[in-house]
Amino acid sequence: MATLSSSVTIIGAGLAGSEAAWQLARRGIAVHLHEMRPQTMTPAHRSGNCAELVCSNTFRADHLENAVGLLHAEMRLMDSLMMRCADQARIPAGTALAVDREQFSGLVTAAIEAEPLITRVAGEVTALPDDGLVLVATGPLTSDLFSDEIARVTGHDRLAFFDAIAPVIDAETIDMSVAYWKNRYDKNLEAGSPGDYLNCPMGRTQYEAFIDALLAAEKVAMKGFEDIPFFDGCMPIEVMAERGRDTPRFGPMKPVGLEHPVTGEQFHAVVQLRRDNRMGSLLNMVGFQTKMTYGAQKEVFRTIPGLAQAEFFRLGSLHRNTFIQSPALLDGTLRLKSDPRILFAGQITGVEGYVESAACGLMAGIFLADLAQGNSPIPFPENSAHGALLAHVSRSDPNHFQPMNINFGLLPAAPKRIIDSDGKRRRLARADRRRMVSEGALAALRQWAAE
């Protein structure tokens, strides 16, 4: 039954919680936004700012032939605070939407603090309120005490998987006589730009030596969590190498399309670095999440050509990510089945990634606004990216549920062939089919929003 409420409690001021608070305030609903940082820090965060990015500084592809690009477009359509701030803090990254992470979280924090209907409340929450509308958006780094509270309320044991963070390097310490700027296949290059990615090339012998060092390096022990899997999108580079010596060459170290811009030389493998801030003084090792010890990271990564003298502003690290068994616990509008006044949003629900987390918060904010005004929330259209995420967290098989990024496999497929105006059947290219799905999704979302 719909609930009237003068204010909403949100626990967690990450991407999901901050986006939900923004959406509620836009609809005239007061919010108390609780955040335990900086009083109680997580193993990965460094500040008390809203929507702090910890693993990477990219929101991934920003075009309609990619599912996350569709999610970007849908969020912009719904006046997403995260997308507004990401667009303002954007830095060069080819076809991807990458941001200056400090500027991004600063913009989000400023917007939240400037909104009179949002009250920030500092300090760790260890128990859910007994009444009123509540959103749990504590993310994958939910504190142990509150994780226990969630387990108590849901009646299910919490699930967890490990996540790993990539190192960040001082750009001035990289040997530019070895490394070179280039986008893969020179895609999305602005006039006069050498490229958005700095590439450290390897020959076969260098690559084999690097893999040997990677496999032999000392790793962080995972005491008590040995059987918890890594999410594939954040798999540590050494775990990737353990699956096969050439696995990194078909992943983050893929050399295809990265021949040297001057000599034309092709390489056996390439390590790519991407700007981590607007000035380009910090560079992130793309796809190099790791659970090696700090000492081993310095030793192994300095064997990469061009990085012999590299200085690390941040070394890679390992932390536990927590998520609930959402399909067994949540309905199609993110409400807890056993207590519909409580909603969950963000990565704790089993969506994976910055953008997906923020999108989940956007939906939760709109659902909560409906409930606060005495209306029943209406799910997003199933053929939209938002609706696809909702279906994943609410209708997947609970016995085999795992976190997932948005992908076209979650959306209705476009036809592989169409009938031309002359009556002939024509096969559609993959990019055309994906754009057709994206355009249909945006049309459906516009209609949903209008109604």
C-alpha distances (whole Å) from 5 to each of 329, 338, 368, 369, 400 are 23, 19, 9, 9, 36
Average pLDDT, the chain: 92
DSSP-based three-state secondary structure for 272: strand
Q: What CA–CA distance (Å, rounded) separates 428 from 243?
A: 35
C-alpha distances (whole Å) from 291 to each of 166, 176, 214, 234, 238 are 9, 28, 11, 11, 8
Q: Tell me the mean pLDDT in the region 371-392.
A: 96
pLDDT digits (tens, 9 = 90+) for 79-100: 999 999 999 999 999 999 999 9
Residue 144: both structure tokens together: 């142990």
* Residue 210 CA from chain centroid, whole number: 28
Residue 238: both structure tokens together: 């050494």
Residue 113: both structure tokens together: 């603090």
Q: Tell me the mean pLDDT in the region 365-380.
A: 97
Percentage of the chain lying above the pLDDT 70 cut? 95
Q: pTM higher than 0.85 for the full model?
A: no
Question: 205-209, 223-227, 415-419: which range is least confident on average?
Answer: 223-227
pLDDT digits (tens, 9 = 90+) for 340-362: 999 999 999 999 899 999 999 99
- Kindly list the structural domains of the chain, giving each domain's residue range(s) and its CATH number in brackets, ordered by start: 7-158+324-410 (3.50.50.60), 165-320 (2.40.30.260)
**pLDDT band per the 50, 70, 90 thresholds, residue 322:** confident
Instruction: Provide the H-helix boundaries in 217-267.
Output: 237-242
pLDDT digits (tens, 9 = 90+) for 155-188: 866 666 777 789 999 999 999 999 999 999 888 7
Residue 134 has phi, psi (to 5 degrees) of: -135, 135
54 or 371, higher pLDDT:
371
The answer to whether 348 and 136 have CB atoms below 8 angstroms apart is: yes
Residue 200 has phi, psi (to 5 degrees) of: -110, 105
Q: 3-state DSSP: the chain helix, strand, coil percent, rounded to 5?
A: 35, 20, 45
Rg (the chain; Cα; Å): 23
